[in-house]
Structure 1
Amino acid sequence: MKESEIVNIQAYLRSKFGTERISIKKGDGKDAPVEVYINKEFVGPIYRNEDEGEVSYDFVMSILKEDLE
């Protein structure tokens, strides 16, 4: 993922969730997903998809049952 995409996605998530505590870091490897953090806690990856010239980004956040208790 390009650096400009990472900056734009980070700004979007910060605006959408109303917090500056969200940061995005590049994953290991050329085609690895980027990683989303709130403070220093990893919350999920973002995958970049391109199909027929259309680009989308998929954010996956798993919530464990024990985290809800």
Structure 2
Amino acid sequence: MAELSASEVTRLQTTLQRLLGSPKLTVNKPARKGMSVEISVAGEVVGTVHRDEDEGEISYAIHMTLLEEDLPPA
């Protein structure tokens, strides 16, 4: 897994805020090398971002975790 640059973090945050319609969404570079880049909404971590480079093309995969207890009642 490749590390994300500060520019990539900023660009991803801007794009995700626009796509998901949430200015409260932040993309947070890890405090230590080797840790995952996290996505937060209003300070609560909801997922991680992983960068992949294959044959010169770069893509970003987002893994989002939602707890059942956070869902509204059925």
Q: Do these two structures clear the TM 0.5 threshold for a shared fold by scoring above it?
A: yes
Write the mapping of 1:1-69 to structure 2, written as runs, cut at 5 A. Answer: 1-68=4-71, 69=73
| 2:64 alignment partner, SS class | coil
Task: Give runs of ≥4 in structure 1 deviating > 4 Å.
Answer: none
What SS does the aligned partner of 1:55 have? strand
Paired amino acid for 2:25: I
Aligned-residue sequence identity (percent) comes to: 36
If the length of structure 1 is used for normalisation, what is the TM-score? 0.87
Q: Deviations over 1:44-68 (max 9, x none)?
A: 0000111111100001112222222
- Report how many aligned residue pairs link the two structures: 69
Higher relative contact order (CA 8 A, sep 6+): 2
- SS of 2:32's equivalent in the other structure is coil
| Structure 1: 5+ residue stretches without partners | none
Structure 2: gaps (5+ residues): none
